[in-house]
Amino acid sequence: MSDSLWQDRAVVLPWLKGRWEYLLELKAQNRFPHALLINGPEGIGKACFALALANYVLCREPKGGAACGHCRSCELTNSGNHPDLYLLKPEEPGKPIKIDQVRELTSFIYSTAQQGGYRVVILDPADSMNVNAANALLKMLEEPGTNTLLMLLTHRLGQMLPTIKSRCQRVDMPPADISLATQWVATQLEVDAAEAAQLLVIAHNSPLQALSYKQDDLLGLRAKVLKGLADILKNRSSAVEVAQSLYKEDLELVLGWIYSWIVDIARSSENQADPELLRHADAKNMLLALARKVSSQKLYHFADQVQVARKDLMFRRNPNKQLLMETLLTAWYSLPRPN
């Protein structure tokens, strides 16, 4: 059950029910917009929501605020072959949506719906359109024709063109409610609430990310990183040895964790090393010990080093990962020690 598999499911996750009811209410009042800009944090289920809404408007006999699941339209959407539903994504993840892809959409938008109802387009992520593609889409947003629904999904609202934004009705999705999300993750993964809550903290409150963390055994990697860091502080292993054991792992992820631990240490140490301010329960003892010892000047300097290393990993072609980790872990070793 990977993150991407979930993205392909038409389901309204529990913390988005309020938005769902709001949109259905608009539909009932004949005030349904032709273009929605669905905005909200990553990994909370926006794509699942958009698919569910597509199924709903395409369904011939929706019941109880949901698609019926049995009519001809529902059969088509369930098999992933509905001719009046168009999913527009980058050709490869992380790449832009191109103008040619938007142009192909034109003929779909201006044709008659084959099943006689709505035509629905989902653009995900809409912020990945380059300027030319966005301009090509503008025309469709201005004159979409009747019974058309365009759903633009984004978690980077700032990267959307203002002209696009102003032609859509914006729907802001809330972050996942913590207690609902904890319950949901616990059920999906068949784990207890404490583990689900911890997974959500690690996944920055993204329930779908929390599922994939568990599935990919990223908790195992995280435990390995924590043990390595503790071993360095306690002189059980050298920075070089731990760097050797870690440098082939997903370092962007590892450095993201280390950075979030630094934030924890800083927050706690600024308040007399208050343990209540540490969000990362699995690292609590080590973080608290550091919060008591480390100077804020050293901590901020280390935070900067971690950020520079993250940028190197993202933007440079071939950083020497082993050397990068050795440098950082040596700095980690010296954090609680006098210079």
Q: Which residues of the shown chain bind Zn ion in the complex (CB under 5 A)?
A: 59, 67-68, 71, 74
Q: Which is nearer to Zn ion, 19 or 82 (CB)?
A: 82
Q: What is the smallest separation between the CB atom of 60 and Zn ion, expressed in angstroms?
A: 5
Q: Measured between alpha carbons, how far is 238 from 169 in angstroms, rounded to an integer? A: 56
Quick one: 71 or 191, whose CB is closer to Zn ion? Answer: 71
Q: C-beta of 61: minimal distance to Zn ion in Å?
A: 5
Q: In the bound complex, what is the minimum distance in angstroms from residue 147's beta carbon to Zn ion?
A: 16
Angle, helices 218-233 vs 251-269, to 10°: value is 60
Rounded to whole angstroms, the Cα distance separating 163 from 152 reads 13
> Least Å distance between CB 267 and Zn ion?
50
Select 67 or 153, whichever has its Cβ closest to Zn ion: 67
Least distance between Zn ion and beta carbon 73 (Å): 5
In 10 A of CB 304, how many CB atoms? 10
d(CA 166, CA 37): 10
**Which one, 62 or 228, has the nearer CB to Zn ion?**
62
Q: Of 82 and 167, which has the nearer Cβ to Zn ion? A: 82
CB 20 to Zn ion: min, Å: 17
In the complex, the smallest distance separating the C-beta of residue 27 from Zn ion, rounded to whole angstroms, is 15
Nearer to Zn ion, 67 or 258 (CB): 67
Residue nearer to Zn ion on the CB measure, 83 or 275: 83
